[in-house]
Amino acid sequence: MRHDSIKTAVKVAVSMLALAGLVATTGARADNEYKGYTLRVKLIGGVQYEALYTRIPLWEKETGAKVEIISRKSHFELDRELKQDIASQHIDYCVSSNHTNFSAQYPIFRDLKGLFPATYLSAFAPALLKQSEVKGQLVQIPRSTDIEALYYNKTAYADPANRDAYKKKFGQDLAPPKNFAEFTQQATFFTKAPNFYGTQFPGKDEALTGTFYSLLVANGGQLLDAKMKPTFNSPAGVKTLDWFVNLYKTGVVPKGVPSYVWDDLGNNFASGKVALDLDWPGFASFYNDPKTSKLAGNVGVVRAPLGAANKRPGWSGSHSFSITKVCARPEVAASFIQFLTSKDSQLVEARLGSIPSRVDAQQAIVQEFKTKDDHFMADAVATFSQAAKEDSFTPPRIAQWNEISNALWPELQKAIIGDETSQQALDKAAKKVTDIMQDAADQ
């Protein structure tokens, strides 16, 4: 969807690398220290990830090692491949791309504590390092992070007629919502279906599960309790699901919402048909590029509004790198990961719109955008970085997360379209999740 703008940014990043020269990896203690060694790796593939991999020859030249990329697949394809590797007990590589929301499913990765110097680890946002742990073990180093924030259509907010009508009706100035009560009020106010809608949300798959979960936490609820029993069918859960149900029932969101995933949301907002869009950092450059968006120059972004518990939605996750337990030279693998997650490496991806996991890279990319007078991207990165620091939380880091999601979202969807009440839908989903967790306990 965003490939045109990403390809342009990739070309820029590659050009900058040609000028930058070699950047030494602190993971290697001497030039050519690993000469003759071949490091086998599996990496997530896709246009938005390729710019970072152009730096691999720099690490090879510095260390003397060679990198053999034995797999380069999409996130979900790589997930399936890792599970096949685990089932067949065929692990013949040292490094793999990973993700904090999936990592609990993979018992093949080692604890990284002790492999990396404290000075290196201290550069990362502490919350992201904590989220990179599974059962107390640091099984991955975060590469970049995703978290929700609220994009808004500045044209709708700046319209004098809208501003006057809102002030007259509510006695308040029209400004991006601070909480979900204001969010709902404004989304309803802006809606002029079928040409313009107040907001939207994903209506199926993990996208719906995660969006529900994020607002559930903001409203004071949780998916599971400390004993791994479902608690999302609580009053907080019903209140949360009712929010989605009511928006759909009253026509504040498009009728197609039950079939929407992220690309649908992105295209809708970029077309100028939606006022408020709770979405990911990767859309920032897409929304503000005149080649891909009618809103270019008229997009704003703020942190997500506060929920009923005075918390912000903060469903989050980080792409990451891990080292397998069978790796014979973990110090080489650690050197490779340390190079790919250095400040300079993270800046390559940040120029494409990703949010660095390192605090120094977050600060540097904001300053770089300001120097280029790209104030929107500077504000966007600063906003998402602050959200990642203060608001982020992951789904339960357990191997059953995918099963839980697949049990939950169809019931959420049934409530949204009116086939079940919110309580009925959540109770049915809770029964399914109880069975999933009981089966896991019995194994």
Read off the pLDDT of each residue in 322-351 and give the average, rounded to a whole number. Answer: 98
How far is residue 184 from each of residues 172, 178, 298, measured CA to CA in Å? Answer: 15, 11, 22
The predicted structure's pLDDT at residue 353 = 83
Tell me the Cα Rg of the chain. 23
Closest listed residue to residue 359, CA positions, set 52, 153, 188, 128:
128
Task: Give dist(CA 404, CA 396) in Å, integer.
Answer: 10
The predicted structure's pLDDT at residue 244 = 99
Q: What is the pLDDT of residues 147-176, one digit of tens each?
A: 999 999 999 999 999 999 999 999 999 999
Percent of the chain predicted with pLDDT > 90? 88
Read off the pLDDT of each residue in 95-102 and give the average, rounded to a whole number. Answer: 96
The predicted structure's pLDDT at residue 115 = 97
Which pair of tokens denotes residue 67?
A: 């990198």
415, 425 in Cβ contact below 8 A?
yes
CATH class of 149-313+400-442: alpha beta
Read off the pLDDT of each residue in 259-284 and give the average, rounded to a whole number. Answer: 95
How far is residue 247 from each of residues 201, 244, 420, measured CA to CA in Å? Answer: 10, 5, 16
83-92, 145-154, 356-365, 390-399: lowest mean pLDDT where? Answer: 390-399
110 burial class (0-12, 13-18, 19+ CB within 10 angstroms)? middle
Read off the pLDDT of each residue in 417-426 and give the average, rounded to a whole number. Answer: 99
The predicted structure's pLDDT at residue 11 = 42
Task: Give dist(CA 74, CA 366) in Å, integer.
Answer: 28
| Identical fold, 3-145+317-390 and 149-313+400-442 | yes
The predicted structure's pLDDT at residue 30 = 59
pLDDT over threshold 80, residue 405: yes
Name the residue with higher pLDDT: 441 or 257: 257
* Local confidence band at 1 (pLDDT 50, 70, 90 cut-offs): very low
What mean pLDDT is reported for the chain? 92
Read off the pLDDT of each residue in 29-54 and give the average, rounded to a whole number. Answer: 90
- Tell whether the torsion through CA atoms of 403, 407, 413 and 415 is positive or negative: negative
150, 277 in Cβ contact below 8 A?
yes
The predicted structure's pLDDT at residue 46 = 84
Task: Give dist(CA 165, CA 173) in Å, integer.
Answer: 10
Q: Domain map of the chain by residue range? A: 3-145+317-390, 149-313+400-442
Which pTM value belongs to this model? 0.86
3-state secondary structure the chain: CCHHHHHHHHHHHHHHHHHHCCCCCCCCCCCCCCCCCEEEEEEECCHHHHHHHCCHHHHHHHHCCEEEEEEEECHHHHHHHHHHHHHHCCCCCCEEEEECCCHHHCCCECCCCCCCCHHHHCCECHHHHHHCEECCEECCEEEEEEECEEEEEHHHHHCHHHHHHHHHHHCCCCCCCCEHHHHHHHHHHHCECCCEECCCCCCCHHHHHHHHHHHHHHCCCCCECCCCCECCCCHHHHHHHHHHHHHHHCCCCCCCHHHCCHHHHHHHHHCCCECEEEECHHHHHHHCCCCCCCCCCCEEEECCCECCCCCCCCEEEEEEEEEECCCCCHHHHHHHHHHHCCHHHHHHHHCCCCEECEHHHHHHHHHHHHHCCCHHHHHHHHHHHHHHHHCCECCCCCCCHHHHHHHHHHHHHHHHCCCCCHHHHHHHHHHHHHHHHHHHHHC
* Local confidence band at 443 (pLDDT 50, 70, 90 cut-offs): confident
Domain 3-145+317-390, CATH number (from 3.40.190.10, 3.20.20.10, 3.90.1150.10, 3.40.50.300): 3.40.190.10
219, 240 in Cβ contact below 8 A?
yes
Q: What is the pLDDT of residues 103-137, one digit of tens each?
A: 999 999 999 999 999 999 999 999 999 999 999 99
The predicted structure's pLDDT at residue 32 = 87
pLDDT over threshold 50, residue 272: yes
Which pair of tokens denotes residue 263?
A: 């690309």
The predicted structure's pLDDT at residue 47 = 76
